Amino acid sequence: MSTKSSLKRARQIRERNVRNKRVKKSFKTAIKKLELGIKEKKGIQELTPLLTKAISLIDKAAKKGVLHKNTAGRKKSLISKKIKKHLAK
């Protein structure tokens, strides 16, 4: 028989897992939309809001502890680099 505290801990883990998956899915989707925009050779007017949204979601994930702050920084740096490379063409 499980203790009351172990049952509570298991419930908390399940809830956090669902929350973390939701947050991860949101910023991954934003990054994919941005990369799709780059592949479709969109201009700066179309890419700027996508970049802003992606960076915002990555920062929120880092703030909530879903991503480590260095991982968040690396992801933001990589997508910014992709945008700059695309716009330089």
The per-residue pLDDT for range 34-57, each reduced to its tens digit, is 999 999 988 999 999 999 999 999
- Amino acid occupying residue 1: M
Q: 49 vs 17, 33, 56, 65, 88, CA distance in Å?
A: 29, 11, 10, 24, 18
pTM, rounded to two decimals: 0.88
Percentage of the chain modeled with pLDDT above 90: 90
Which domains does the chain carry? 4-88 (1.20.58.110)
